[in-house]
Every structure is written in C-alpha cells, then in structure tokens.
Chain A
Amino acid sequence: MANEILEEKINEEYKYGFVTDIEADNAPKGLNEDIIRFISKKKNEPEWMLENRLKALRYWLTLEEPSWAHVSYNKPNFQDIIYYSAPKPKKVLNSLDEVDPELLKTFEKLGISIEEQKRLSGVESRVAVDIIMDSVSVKTTFKEVLSEKGIIFCSFGEAVQEHPELIKKYMGTVVPFTDNYYAALNAAVFTDGSFCYIPKGVRCPMELSTYFRINSAGTGQFERTLIIADEDSYVSYLEGCTAPMRDENQLHAAVVELAAHKGAEIKYSTVQNWYPGDKNGLGGIFNFVTKRGICLGDNSKISWTQVETGSAITWKYPSVILKGDNSVGEFYSVAVTNNYQQADTGTKMMHLGKNTRSTIISKGISAGYSNNSYRGLVRIAKGASNARNFSQCDSLLMGDKCGAHTFPYIEIKDKTAIVEHEATTSKIGEDQLFYCKQRGIDNEKAIGLIVNGYCKEVLNKLPMEFAVEAQKLLAVSLEGSVG
C-alpha cells in the first residue's frame, strides 16, 4: 500500500515544466573577463560597476568550490554556462499591451496574471510584481503607485542607472563578494535583479514581489536583490521561482541583501519551486543562494520565511546580523524534498547588539530518496548582553529510503545569553493517523491534515497571497507520500 502510494507520488509531474518560446538574446557560453565586459556593456553600466565585477571575478578565480554541505552532485562546469540571456525584443515597456504575448502566456501559466493585478489596483490587497526571466527583469508593476510614496521598486539594472548613490552605498555591504564562492561568482556575473528602497517612516502599502523564471537552456541565473528599509519603515517582500523541465542541471546563484535601519522592519518570504529534476534525479536546478540581512539600527527587525519545495539541490542559509540594540531576527522554514532532491538549508543568527532576540523554526520533510538537512549557526558575540535565541528544528521522514539531518552550530561568548535549541526527528504518528481514520478521514487526507498542522507555525508567517499557494504546493508535493 505504502509503496503504491509512493510510486504514485513519484510519478507526479512538475507542473511548471513548460518552455516559453521567446527568442532570447544570449551571450556566448563561458566565463572570462570579456564576458563580464559584455554583460556590463549590455547593461550599459558605469565604469565603477564594471570594476567591481572584474574585482569579484579575479577573486573568484582564486577560490575553490566548497564541499562542506551534506549534498553530493556533479560540480557545474562554469565554462559551459550562458551568463547572459535576455528575452528578445527588449525595449522599454510602458503598458502591458507592449509585452510579448508569449511572455504574458508564461505568466498566466505561472498563475500570476499581470492583467489581474492591474484590474485589482485600488483594492487593498495588491501585490507589485517584478518579473525576472533568465536573469533579466522584464516587467515591474505598480511602479508609479509606489513612487508616490517615495518607494523605489525597480529592476537592479535600472537602479544602477537611476540611483547609483544607493547602489554604491549598500551593494556588497551585507554580502561582500569575498563572502563565499557563489557570492563572488554572482558579484562578477549578475545580470539583473530587484531593487527596493523604502524611505523614512513609510509603511509600504502593498506586498512587493519578484517572480524568477529560468527559461532558456544552458543558462545560469544570477540575480541580485537589494532591499533597504530606512528608519521606521516597513516592507513585506515576496519571492517565487519556477523553471522548465530539462535533463541538464541549471545553476541558480543569487544574492539577496537586506538592510534595516533604526526601527525598520523587513519581512522576506520565499516560495521556491524550481524544477526539482525527474524521478530518477536527472536534471533540476542547483539552487546555491546567499541571503543575508543586517539589522543596522536599534529596534529593527528582519524576518525570513521560506517554503522550499523545488530544486535538485538547495543550498541556502538566509541569515541575520543583529547589529543594532534590541533588534530581532526570525527564520521560519519549511523544506520539502522528494525523489532525489537534496536540501542543505538553515540560517545564521549573529548577535552583536544588546538585548537582541532571534527565533528559528525549521520544519523539514523528506520523502522518496531525498536528503534534507538543517544547518544553522547561532553566534552570540562578546558584549551582546542579554541576547536570546530559541531554535526548533523538526524533521519528518516519509519512507525508509530518505534521510533527515540536523547540524546546528551554537557559539556563545557572553554569559548573559540564553540560547536554547531543540530538534526532533520522527515519522507521522500511527496514533495520529488512527485518530483521523477513526473519524472517517481517509489516509491521504489525514496525512495532509497532519503535515499541514506540522507546518502551520511557518505557513502562518507567510503573507496571505502566498500562504494559499504554499499550502497547495505542500499538498501537491506530499500527496500520498506515506501509506
């Protein structure tokens, strides 16, 4: 019984696996200084940006690919990747009518209808979307409405042109190019991304959102997101991603930087659903992402929420540096792996300021032949008095061929700190299932119910628009995983 249902699940198709037939403007394969210059020229970038890119590339060339994560894969060939791919024709778009209809169809398939969004303007729950396809931002909605409040929300490329002072001031301050292998690579080759600035005292009236899509074959996606929340401002930001089905592995190495000034709050939510590869583990996205936020000012807050269901390999640790006094860091995560997926994900909480607090809630679910690891660091620096951390990492195993792992690192150098960590690993309780079945709920639904309850703590943290999507995604990902 269990096996049949597992089989069924394993045979399930990835529903975002279509390719949009849009002509793309590609750079030649490979990575060298000429490619960097090519990208920089394509993006019409100022000289200082090119210098930064070259510096990062030269540094990257000195590095070796890290291997400490609990994942195994064939290392990507960095010379066999197209580092720039833009949907053609690329021209300035003023209204939706000018957007390539093929592209619009893509968005409809993705379930984000821009037209719908347009029609809904004026309604309270709105989402401003920046869509990034193959590393290039193709459409940012609601830009005008936002600019009335002084909010800047645009593609990274535009920001480099129009707000170079902000880019210069913040880019690379949270995740410097020397941070790690993939951060260095990204700093050299990033093609676009989203940029967001919330001015002092402004509460962003709508959810900001970026939708990432890898479309072209043989490309890597390297985008950068930079969000700056000035004093006493608030922003909630959503990120979603999908990719077509392909036999090859494609690389996604993004960098996300968040900076929260005094009293500001940034809420960053991700629903990651990159193509996970087929049931034999062929193809799928390598998702090697560096995400970090810094609470610069006192009383600031950064909150990460993620639902990770896609990617062949996920390797990401959204982190918070708690520099300001009384600042708060949060990390809520649900990671689901199935078939041959591998996930090594978690967070880092660096407590530097006084009275800083952090909470980590991580829920891992593994099924099929997958491996799912939580890896997290909590560091209390000397002088970070009265720092407080609570971490909870639970893993749920479905089937006896998968693995669930927990690797927390806790480093404490202050005697006033209170740090707690707990982790459990188990399967769905027989008694819970029995209870449901006794009340006439069938096996499938009972599992769905229990898993949803298990993840509720995290799903509750997602903004409304995403919570529904995430819940559906979970249901699809786990349907019939256990008998």
Chain B
Amino acid sequence: MTAIIIENIKTKVSTTGKLEDLLISEFESTKNSLFGNIFLREQAMKSFYGQGIPNRKQEEYKYLNIDLHLKGEYTLKNNKTLASKQIEPLRILKDAFTIVVENGVFNTDLSTLTNLPEGLTICSLSEAYKKYPQIFEKHYAQYADINTDAFIALNTAMAKDGVFIHVKKNLAIANPIHIIHISKQDQNSIINPRNLIIVDANAQAKIIESYEIIDSTAKVFNNSLTEIVVEADAIVDHYKIQDEKSFGYLLSTSQVIQKKQSVFSTHTFTLSGSLVRNNLNVILDDEGIESNLNGLYLTNETQIIDNHTLVDHRKPKCNSNELYKGIIDGKSTATFNGKIFVRKDAQKTNAFQSNKNILLSDDGTINTKPQLEIYADDVKCSHGTSTGKLDEDKIFYLRARGLSETSAKKLLMHAFASEVVDTIKINELREYIEAKITIRFE
C-alpha cells in the first residue's frame, strides 16, 4: 500500500527537480539494502514527502531558511577513505571508547572498542538489528516521531547505519564513550547518521558526540538523529561538540526520553559550521526526574546557528534547568528557541530557562524565542533572556587596572562562556573546549 503511494508521488513529481525528488528516487533504489523495518522506512518517506523541506513559513523554522541553504545538487554515495592517522587529532579523550562514524557508516577498523566492560554493548545499528532484535524493536524509532519534523522523517527513511549503545542495568561506566561523526567529501552530499543509546535502570554513562569534517571540498549536509533512552534511576551525561568548519551544514536532532528519578544532562557546544540547527527534545515521562540542558554557541562570519529545545514535562515533581549562552560576531545569525511545556498532570514542576547573548558586531543578528506553555497550576516556571554588548563598566574596570582593551574584552568573554564550560564534568573535555574557545577569541 505504502509502496504504491510512494510510487504515485514519484511519478507525480519527478519532473520538478526538487531536492525532495532526488531523495525519494535515491530511496527507491536503495531501500532494499537498508537495515531495519522497510515498512517503517516507507512510512517515514511518505511523511517526509508530505511535510517537505521546511521553510520560514513554518513556525519552527521561522528564523532559518534551511530550504534555501540546501538548494543544489547532491550525492548520497558514501565512500570509506579515511586513514587512521587522520582520526588521531580528533581522539580528544585518552581513555575513552571511541567510535568512528565515517560519512554516516560505522567504521569498525578505526574505532577502539577493545576491553568493553561486561554489560556494555557498542555496535553498528545494522548489527544490533540482527543480533539484538528484541531491544532494537522496543526502542528504535519509538521516540523521534516522523510526523513532527521532516528531518526526523528523512533520517528514519534513509539512515544507512549508525551507532547502537546499550548499557545494562546497574552498570556504571567510568570511561566516556566518544562517537566521532566524521565526514570527508568531494561532492555535495547528504548524510543521515543515526544513533540509539539505551541506558538501563540504575546505570551510568558519559557519552560524547562530536561532528567534524576533514579534507572536504564540497558542502556536507548531515541530518543526524540520536535517540537516548534513560531508564529509571540512570544517570547520563551527554555532550555534543560541533566543529564542522565552512563546509558543514548540520541538522542535529536529539530525542531523549527519561524515566523515573533519572538524571540527564546535555551540553551542546557549537564552535563552527556554516549552518547548525539543533533540535533537542527531552521528554520527562515519569516522576522525580532531573534534566539539565546547557549550550554555548560562538558564531562568526556568515554562520547561522539555530538552537531549538523542547522540555516536555509530562509527570509531576520534575525539575528542569536550561542555560544557553552565545557570543555573536561578524555577519552571523544566532537563534535560540526554547520551549517549556508543562502538561496538565505535571504538578509541582520546577522549570527554569535562561538565554544570554552578547552581540559583538554591527551586522550580527540575534533572535530569541523562549516559550512557556503551561497547563498545570502548581508549578514554578520561569524564563529569562538578555542580549547586550560587553559591559562598558567592566571593560573600564579592567583597563583601569592596566589591561589592554582587547585583553579586557577577551577576559570578559571567557568569563561569560565559563558559566557553560564549567558544567562539563569530564576534565579532559573541559580543557579541550577551553583551548578551542581561547583560539576563537584570539
């Protein structure tokens, strides 16, 4: 049935030459070689086609004309060409289990997955589909709803591969798990990386996802999607480091579901990339949950950074804290859109959100849209946002003590960023980010 519908869509539109059409024809020719449930994939493609690539008329993409940025010719072919030494500088954590995902495909040769503790499974999604069908079926594509966002639908339809991580009950993993998404392309390409992370009850894990592009000569659009399941009493510390330079066009969705009394903290650092859009959706699906969402974005030149967060309080007695900060320079545009959604049953909710921006240049733009949507009365919810320049009085204070104007400004920017950087709990990672920020402020 679905196949017929897709067939119809295909014949109907094949003459218009839109990106959607390229994707649908690519899908038709490769769908039988992809892992997982083909019926789900067809559903997703249909949904993607129905929604189309979003434009500014859609409220959720009001400040991001992603349709225009994605115009052009693309290939969906991925080659494996990386050599081990190219990866070395990206292995930022010495004692981490490192997974290399090259152009959306799990690269076993470059990953360091020896000595995994008992109870920790790390493998490719296609492998997990075969080896652990029960747990795969239970969680895969169960949280990221294909009908809520066109890019979720696209990823669900076309993901070639990705990372599967499963931490068993009561297991606390000391070493961080580092997923390096690396792209290397000489033609405009679209990649749909996908991850599924399941942390069972009372387990603990630290997971880092970094996005890098090396030795490329063409535009790389990564439509990445990570689903994270945090079971009861589990503690998950999650990091995203986005540093894709000028060829990078990244749409990065995180779909998180939290169970009773779990703690989930996520930290998003956007350091570079032509276009970065983060969709971070956290569902607090039981009582006593804590969620922390932190973000830092430093923009320059003509970059566009758009952070969208949704904190969905479904049950009573949960706490959420959100802190996003940005420094905007050049002709760049930064957008923050954060929504706190408190459902009818979620009494005794505490939800706080803060967004602060510094605008350094004449041509930069900041858009912020913090939203509260609240249907329960016994709650404490607040959001605050402020935008301004560097404080003249503070600069004066520092200069009066002998600092040059530039170093005074640098110091203040460091201080501004440190509120977010200090939330990093892995020392090595914090030092890495600090070093990156220092270079940026030079």
Contacts and interface: CB of A to CB of B under 8 A. Distances in A.
A408 B386 contact: no
A398 interface: yes
B362 A382 contact: yes
A397 interface: yes
B360 A415 contact: yes
- A405, A411, A418, A425: most-surrounded residue (chain B CB, <10 A): A425
Q: Which DSSP category, helix, strand, loop or mixed, fits chain A's interface?
A: strand
Contact of B381 (A382, A414, A421, A425): A425
A406 B369 contact: no
B388 A418 contact: yes
Chain A CB within 10 A, most for which of B369, B371, B384: B371
Interface in A175-206: none
Given A425-B379, A426-B381, A410 B368 contact: yes
A418 B369 contact: no
Contacts of A382: 362-363
A416 interface: yes
B376 A400 contact: yes
A424 interface: yes
B344 interface: yes
A480 to B, nearest CB: 15
Q: Is the interface of B mostly helix, strand, loop or mixed?
A: strand
Contacts of B389: 415-418
B387 A417 contact: yes
B373 to A, nearest CB: 5
The residue among A401, A410, A416 with the most chain B CB atoms within 10 A of its own CB is A410
Contacts of B379: 397, 425-427
A409 interface: yes
Contacts of B380: 424-426
Contact of B347 (A400, A414, A424): A400
B372 A425 contact: yes
Contacts of B364: 413, 415
Interface in B355-393: 357, 359-389
A395 B378 CA distance: 12
Given A409-B369, A417-B359, A424 B374 contact: no
B377 A397 contact: yes
Interface residues of B, number: 35
A415 B362 contact: yes
Nearest to B380: A426
Contacts of A415: 359-362, 364, 389
B359 A405 contact: no
A425 B374 contact: yes
A411 B376 CA distance: 30
B375 A403 contact: yes
A181 to B, nearest CB: 15
A7 interface: no
A422 B365 contact: no
Contacts of B363: 382
A401 B388 CA distance: 38
Contacts of B381: 424-426
Interface string A288-313: 00000000000000000000000000
Interface in A25-83: 68, 70
A407 B370 CA distance: 7
Given A399-B377, A415-B360, A417-B359, A423 B372 contact: yes
Nearest to A423: B383
B59 interface: yes
Nearest to B368: A410
A402 B375 CA distance: 6
A419 B369 CA distance: 13
A108 interface: no
A407 B388 contact: no
A174 interface: no
Given A400-B344, A411-B366, A415-B364, A421 B375 contact: no
Contact of B344 (A401, A406, A419): A401
A408 B367 CA distance: 10
A247 interface: no
Contacts of B377: 397-400, 402, 427
B387 A422 contact: no
B372 A411 contact: no
Contacts of A413: 364-366
Contacts of A427: 377-379
Contact of A421 (B373, B376, B378, B384): B384
A4 interface: no
Contact of A423 (B344, B384, B386): B384
Contacts of B357: 412
A475 B204 CA distance: 53
A248 interface: no
Contact of A397 (B359, B376, B383): B376
B385 to A, nearest CB: 5
Given A411-B367, A415-B359, A405 B374 contact: yes
A398 B379 CA distance: 11
B372 A405 contact: yes
Interface string A372-392: 000000000010000000000
Interface string B56-93: 00010000000000000000000000000000000000
Nearest to A429: B380
A424 B374 CA distance: 11
Contact of B362 (A400, A411, A414, A423): A414
A409 B367 contact: yes
Contacts of B367: 409-412
Nearest to B356: A420
Contacts of A410: 366-369, 385, 387
B50 to A, nearest CB: 18
A404 interface: yes
Given A401-B344, A417-B359, A424-B381, A412 B369 contact: no
Nearest to B367: A411
Contacts of B361: 415
Nearest to A407: B371
B382 A422 contact: yes
A8 B292 CA distance: 42
Instruction: Name the residue in A395, A418, A420, A421 with the highest tally of chain B Cβ atoms < 10 Å from its Cβ.
Output: A421
B325 to A, nearest CB: 15
B314 to A, nearest CB: 15
B339 to A, nearest CB: 9
B374 A397 contact: yes
Nearest to B62: A409
Interface in B376-432: 376-389
A312 to B, nearest CB: 19
A423 B369 contact: no
Nearest to A424: B382
Contacts of B59: 68
A407 B369 contact: yes
8 contacts: A382-B362, A406-B383, A409-B367, A412-B366, A415-B362, A417-B389, A419-B385, A422-B384
Given A411-B366, A413-B365, 19 more contacts: A382-B363, A400-B344, A402-B377, A403-B373, A413-B364, A413-B366, A415-B361, A417-B387, A417-B389, A418-B386, A418-B387, A420-B387, A421-B368, A421-B384, A421-B385, A422-B383, A424-B382, A426-B381, A427-B379
The 9 lowest CB-CB distance pairs between A and B, nearest first, are A397-B377, A406-B372, A418-B388, A424-B382, A422-B384, A415-B359, A425-B381, A412-B366, A403-B375
